Amino acid sequence: MDLQPSQNNYNEGDRLQTSESLSGFFSRMTVSNKTMERIMRQDSNLSPYDGFRIGGIGRILNQIGLNQKRHHIFYKVSSGEFAIPMELTENVMEMQLIHKEEILEELSKLREEVAVTMKWIHIGAIEVVIKATFKEGIDSEIHLSIMDRRINNLRDGCLGTMIENLYAGKLMFDIHPRIAYNLADQDFSRVLTLHQEFKRKDLMKEGNRPYSITYRIAYALSNTHHSDLYS
């Protein structure tokens, strides 16, 4: 996009060129000497040298009323509930918590010019509740981990873990990753997975469901990796 300044506020040669897509963002700004002189008259703390300083460039942009990038942020909550059959507890079970299809469906509801720029999902909080289908007082150890499976080393990819017991009938597990993931990642389907290991293999026969898992994820879709979402 090529933004042309108005005749009243700018001089010939002033220009801001921007381009944004799923792959990234690019901008190029040109400010004429006449416009710089006018800006310095309005802001006595600015000098011509500020055109070569990052902080000064931001103040110049504010003065001439041009924003290099418009941030789009949409806040979402996703939840799910599953009853886990005994036959799936024989080994460590991996459950996908974020589905790219769900994200793309949300993006399809936005204006096309906005949707094509949305490339980041910021994870604010994840809450997991485990509830038993059997009486209280039964020894039933369970291990839970929330993993980023893009990362090769399991220890490095662990976002949070809990070793507990369903003795009391209900458990709650929550973490606040405050991490942003890029939608173009090859392994995006594995960025958030819940790993569970139920230790009481002899508790029930196959076909029965010893517990349920309910999860809720608070996240935001954005066109930028850098934001004040976590400040």
191-206: per-residue pLDDT in tens?
999 999 999 999 999 9
44 and 95 together in one domain: no
Token pair belonging to 189:
């389907």
Token pair belonging to 26:
């690019």
55-76: per-residue pLDDT in tens?
555 555 555 554 555 678 889 9
Does 111 fall in a domain?
A: yes
Does 21 fall in a domain?
A: yes
Predicted model pTM: 0.71
User: Which of 14, 29, 64 is at the close of a domain?
Assistant: 64
Full domain range(s) for residue 194:
73-222
Surface-to-core class of residue 18, CB atoms within 10 Å of its CB (0-12 exposed, 13-18 middle, 19+ buried): middle
Does 229 fall in a domain?
A: no
137-188: per-residue pLDDT in tens?
999 999 999 999 999 999 999 999 999 999 999 999 999 998 999 999 999 9
- Taking a C-beta distance cutoff of 8 angstroms, is the pair 173, 142 a contact? no
User: Which of 39, 64, 89 is at the close of a domain?
Assistant: 64
Could you tell me the sign of the dihedral formed by the alpha carbons of 145, 148, 152, 155, in that order? negative
Q: The CATH number of the domain where 101 resides is what?
A: 2.60.120.20
- Taking a C-beta distance cutoff of 8 angstroms, is the pair 48, 40 a contact? yes
